[in-house]
Structure 1
Amino acid sequence: MLNEERYAGEGVADRSRSPWWERLPEDFWLHADGTALDTVHPLKVHGTAAVERVMRTSLSATVAAAMLASLKGSGRMQEEFDALRFYEPLARAGDASQVFLAPPAGLAVDAQELQANDGIRRFQLSFISPFQPLNPYARPRFAAMQRNTRAHAQHWCHGDRPRPTLILIHGFAADPHWLNARALSLADFYRRGYDLLLFTYPHHGRRAERGSWFSGQGLFGNGLVSFNETPLHAIHDLRVFIDYLQGRGVEHIGAAGISLGGYTAALLAAVEERLAYCIPIVPAVSPIDVFLEWQPTGLLLSRLMRSQGVGVAEMRGLLAVHNPLTYASPLDGQRVLIIGGAGDRVTMPRHLRLLQRHWPGSALHWFPGNHILHLGRREYLERMGELMDRYSGV
């Protein structure tokens, strides 16, 4: 067993202790990694890991380019870091209700039925999001956005009666609904009796501003403060959709997500007591450590931190306001299934262990693949179905 056991602790319940970002070793991103599958399926694990180390360089270069462009301009970097310090006291307090403000009740959600020939009834849902950034520094930038202010989701709805519903949150730059539906065999869950809501993350798909280089560019391309506010925006809009589902009589609602979506699903479970279960899949749990390990983001971030006299622990704390490790979840660990790839080199296995230890009683399932190639997918889909059935009254 790897040595993160000695510092992960039991989550955030004990406020007399220092917060997680200070207990985590400064060099966490350099620690050795591994799972029990490494010796059981060595070719699958190490082979997919080697391929992904090469692939993640292009992803890292894309993220670094978007970040660098957002910090150009005289004094911009200093302004961003000064504004980031707004968040650390909120994260240190660990009170989710002071960070994730409840959306107004009764927001109108527009539903347009889509044509389909596969037996699945689909509706395009949308509403004008009234979200306001927590940090006043970010409000002018958010107010200038046009497309990102309208929230979107695709609703696979049988329409005969309120049915247990799974909310699915996609990963970074991976918003196409068909891609996520295929990755998680969502049509099978629909035929099994579930409704599904496929959420579009801010700055992605229909929410990407005109002129964006790619879907998701706005997540990193609007500065560090905007990067902090975007998960808050996502949680706000997800809670509006939960209100909508409950208004239609849905009693059992769960959340699952892949990569960035897994991180967000875990965060939603730290905020929203109405969830029946949560399934984070290959989530990145400490973004700063992920960016430091990747290249060239590691080089860029290290230089930014040195220029501002900020260490690794402090930098984690500046972004901890939207981290699921920061808050005690109202969801019992027995209702949580964390799924990870033993060969994942985008979000390393050590990150998933941090999340599991933060969530006592949660289950951790490994498959012998990487962040993109999910070998052994059938097994984890079966475990997903078992958890969903158990806590959805199916």
Structure 2
Amino acid sequence: MLSALADHACARFDRVMRHGLRRVLMQRNELDRLARAELERRLEAVAQYTDPAVLAEPDRLLAPPPAPPPLVPLAVRRLPDGRATHFTFASPYRPRDPHYAREYATYDRVDTVHLHAWQHDRPAPASILLAHGWCVGNRRLHEIEFSISTLYRDLGLDVYFYVQPFHSLRKPTAARFSGELFPSTDIVRTNEAFIQTVQDVRAAITAVLRHSPAPLGMMGSSLGGYTSALVASIDPRLSFVVPIMAPASFAHLLWDHGEGDPFRRQAEALGMTRERFHSAWALHSPLSYAPKVPWERRLVVTARGDALVTEAHADVLWHHWQRPRRFRFTGGHFLQLGRRDYIRELARFLADLRIIPGPG
């Protein structure tokens, strides 16, 4: 009873936050400035990302660099049995679209990848790479969200936290807030930024596995969960994946929550449909691929009161992945009251896989 009341209250809070986020997003709505002909030009440009040959072989655009990136330590602090290091490395990404290349050149900070690491002195049984949600990215915030001290100390994992492009330390000076420019209603920039994200993450995976050959998994929340599901769909090096509150299609999520708002009306007036919108972003949707991570090593986590990434949106990914292990926790998208419960489920999941020792 109390859990149901908490879910209901969290869902109401999510709806308020969802309305606020959409208002912020619409303040920089690229469709305001587009004529139908310009939209058609951009859709033609998007064809380079959605060519059937590319979707059949995504490494044509999403391949990792051939060598591990040189990691530069910015700050190091000792831990009782290891060290916490803030690494940076140069993003391997180069824009594919020539128009976007000129735009990308005006952004500072985006081409430097920030990777925070908590590494044990002795070899850890496994490593986990974390990815954050939209509009956030501050390390201290996500140390709390993901219970990084528990992952590191109690589960014994080496932990890595990746900062997404256009967020936090990678927010360009021209952006008003973390995540304003990605994801956005600009269909070319969003495709290009996901290409950058995947290439960055796969470069980080190469670096982590070079440091330790132990099993490496990925876990993320919201946008980070979507990113985790995408990488698990194309990179066979991941040993497990845990998308949390992850939509199966970002295009469907934005479209479905936009009923009656100016963005949706403008898009429809310009000839956009739900199907066309999803197709334009098919390159980065997990629905476009069969996952590379084996079925028993997939764990889908959802919040029962989530009014942003609803059960219906999360179900699509779960069914596409042949209904693997699933865990629901109390709370909503923003007020994750039961987040420690999914960390405990993660521990059981890894123990069942014999990646970490089970309870004595």
Q: Scaled by the length of structure 2, what TM-score is found?
A: 0.89
Instruction: Identify if the C-alpha distance between structure 1 residues 219 and 296 changes in structure 2 by more than 3 Å, giving closer, same or farther.
Output: farther
Name which of 43, 56, 64 aligns with 1:102.
64
Match of 2:93 in 1: 131
Structure 1 residues 201-220: aligned runs within 5 Å: 201-220=164-183
Within-5 A mapping of 1:147-296? 147-161=109-123, 163-192=125-154, 193-220=156-183, 223-295=186-258
Contact 1:269 1:330 in 2 (8 A): yes
- In structure 2, what is the equivalent of residue 36 of structure 1? none
* Structure of greater relative contact order (alpha carbons < 8 Å, 6+ residues apart): 1
In the alignment, the residues of structure 2 paired with residue 231 and residue 96 of structure 1 have an alpha-carbon distance, to the nearest angstrom, of 12
Structure-2 change in CA distance of 1:215 and 1:45 (3 Å): same
Q: Does 1:60 align with 2:22?
A: yes
Q: What amino acid sits opposite 2:247 in the alignment?
A: A
Offset at residue 65 of structure 1 (A): 1.8
- Asked whether the equivalents of residues 129 and 160 of structure 2 are also in contact (C-alpha less than 8 Å), the reply is yes
Decide whether the 8 Å contact of 2:117 with 2:158 is kept in 1. yes
- Structure 2: which 5+ residue stretches go unaligned? none
Residue 334 of structure 2 is aligned to residue 376 of structure 1: no
Query: CA separation of 1:370/1:393 partners in 2, compared to 1, >3 Å: closer, same or farther?
Result: closer
Cα deviation 1:140-159 (Å, max 9, x = unaligned): 22233331011111111123
Asked if 1:72 is matched to 2:30, the reply is no
Change (3 A) 1:106 1:295: closer
CA displacement 1:176-204 (0-9 Å, x = unmatched): 11111111211011112111100000111
Q: Are positions 1:335 and 2:297 aligned together?
A: yes
Amino acid at match of 1:385: A
| Closer/same/farther in 2, CA of residues 297 and 218 from structure 1, 3 Å limit | farther
Question: Secondary structure at 1:86's aligned position in 2?
Answer: helix
Residues 391, 336 of structure 1: alpha-carbon distance in 2 compared, 3 angstrom cutoff: farther
Q: Evaluate the alpha carbon distance shift between residue 180 and residue 297 of structure 1 in structure 2; reply closer, same or farther with a 3 A threshold.
A: farther
Does the CA-based 8 Å contact 1:162-1:250 persist in structure 2? no
Tell me how large the CA RMSD over aligned residues is: 2.5
Long gaps (5+) in structure 1: 1-38
1:326 aligned partner: 288
Structure 1 residues 136 and 159: CA distance shift in structure 2, 3 A: farther
- In structure 2, the CA distance between the partners of 1:73 and 1:310, relative to structure 1 (3 Å rule), is closer
User: What one-letter code is carried by the residue in structure 2 that aligns with 1:225?
Assistant: V
1:254 is paired with a residue whose SS is strand
SS at match of 2:128: strand
Bigger mean CA offset, 213-222 vs 88-97: 88-97
Indicate whether 1:114 and 2:76 are aligned: yes
Other structure's SS at 1:66 match: coil
Could you tell me how far 1:248 is from its partner in structure 2? 1.5
Cα contact 2:187–2:280 (8 A) shared by 1: no
Question: Aligned residue for 1:3?
Answer: none
Q: How big is the shift at 1:93?
A: 4.0
